[in-house]
Copies of this chain bind each other. A is one copy, B any other.
Amino acid sequence: MVSNKKVLFKKVPTAYPVIGEHIEVIDTEFDLDAQLADGEFIIKTLVLSVDPYMRGRMRDASAKSYSPAFTLDQPMNGHAVAIVEKSNSSVYKVGDYLYGMGDFVNYAKMSEAEAKARGMEVRPDIPTSGLPITNYVGVLGMPGATAYVGLELVGKPKAGETIYVSAASGAVGQLVGQLAKTQGLRVVGSAGSDEKVAHLKDIGFDAAFNYKTEDTDAKLTEFCPDGVDIYFENVGGAMLETTINHMNLFGRIIACGMISQYNVGNELYGVRNLIQVVAKRLILQGFIVSDHPELDAPFREQVTKALVEGKFKYLDDVVDGIENTPEALIDVLQGKNFGKKAVRVADP
């Protein structure tokens, strides 16, 4: 028997989740020597991703949304990298690295059908690329793909345009800025600390500001003198309203997320200037990365190459130990992460 910690969803929060009340870590045991039926295998979790969208999954299961609600008293789950420890499957072999939706547990037994339902892919590139495994749930995982898909699908960037990225030092924003630079855009970002702002300049943003200590409207006027053609929207609320005032004719607003609105209960911010959508012929378009699997291959190829060649930089904010997953998630929701937050659960 080995220790098998599980991160359970315990209660639907109305504002920020609280450890022990809405999320709880329990310790159980797992039998690594259990019999495996035909096609079954055991995975060991290596890395877990914690992402803002998970807040939306902490809801009553009767409310529909794009990603399923977490089940009360069951492990939460998300994008993860795992390794096959034991196997009675010809598809998932011992030593294979898998990427897909994994439960927040140390060990799990799985059938091939279940693995397929969780989108578990065997990824031979993970152990061979030389890149940190955490990259595979960040810049090369769902958040990275989100940056790529949003920019291509909605942003349709043209050289010479200006893009503004909010929450720019986060898991998605860092890559958005660097992808946009490769396409010849002026890239401006905002983040919530001076340290984050310095990082944005390090990774190639043309300008960046601390939205907590500076006035967003004044900084957009200063840093986007020709207006904003593309807004990569991760924040929502007042940030969206202010940015709309700076959008150029035919501007595109990539509605990726609105983290300012996730933990405010019914105190949602009312955006008052949508009339500009008409006058400026703006597009405000939402998207979900999983709708666009056709972009996975070009995304992975381009970004892996740029990382291996050192052309892209990407900051991970890694915490060790599955028991620290709840705090890591809450940190992300409160903007306390510095870079892409990931939990390193075990070494291969």
**Cβ of A65 < 8 Å from any Cβ of B?**
yes
A306 part of interface (Cβ distance < 8 Å) = no
Q: Lowest 4 CB-CB distances: which A-B pairs, in order? A: A270-B270, A268-B272, A278-B286, A277-B286
Cβ of B291 and Cβ of A286 under 8 Å apart? no
> In the complex, which residues 244-274 of chain A have their Cβ closer than 8 Å to any Cβ of chain B?
249, 255-258, 261-262, 268-274
Contact of A269 (CB < 8 Å), options: B240, B268, B270: B270
Contacting residues, chain B, for A318 (C-beta < 8 A): none
Interchain residue pairs with CB less than 8 A apart (5): A65-B279, A258-B278, A261-B275, A274-B284, A285-B285
Distance A262 CA – B276 CA, assembled complex (angstroms) = 12
Q: 8 Å CB contacts to B: which residues of A278-314?
A: 278-288, 291
Which of the residues B240, B274, B276, B291 comes within 8 Å of A281, measured between beta carbons?
B291
* Cβ B286 vs Cβ A282 within 8 A: yes
| Interface residue? A75 (CB, 8 A) | no
Q: Which residues of B contact A261 (CB under 8 A)?
A: 275
Task: List residues of chain B with CB within 8 A of the CB of A287.
Answer: 278, 281
Given the contacts A268-B273, A270-B272, A272-B268, A257 and B278 also touching, CB distance less than 8 Å: yes
Bound Cα distance from A261 to B271, whole angstroms? 13
Q: Which of A240, A262, A280, A285 has the most CB of B within 10 A?
A: A285
A321 in the interface (beta carbon within 8 A):
no
- Give, as a whole number of angstroms, the nearest-CB distance from A121 to chain B: 24
Other contacts beyond A236-B275, A270-B272, A278-B288: 9, CB < 8 A: A66-B249, A66-B279, A255-B278, A258-B274, A270-B270, A278-B287, A281-B287, A281-B288, A283-B284
Contact of A255 among B65, B240, B257, B277 (CB under 8 A): B277
Beta-carbon contact of B286 and A280 below 8 Å: yes
Task: Determine which of B66, B256, B274, B279 lies in contact with A240 in the assembled complex, contact meaning CB atoms within 8 Å.
Answer: B274
Contacts of A65 on B, CB cut-off 8 Å?
A: 279
Task: Check if A157 is an interface residue, CB within 8 A of chain B.
Answer: no
Query: Which residues of B lie under 8 Å from residue A256 when comparing CB positions?
Result: 278
The docked-state distance in angstroms from the alpha carbon of A271 to that of B311 is 41
A13 within 8 A of B: no
Residue A78 at the B interface, CB < 8 A?
no
Interchain CA distance A278-B240 in the complex, whole Å? 13
Nearest chain B CB to A147's CB is how many angstroms away? 15
Complex CA gap A65/B276 in Å reads 9
A283-B281 Cα distance, complex, nearest whole Å: 12
CB contacts (< 8 Å) of A269 on chain B: these are 270, 272
Is A335 engaged at the interface, CB distance under 8 Å to the other chain? no
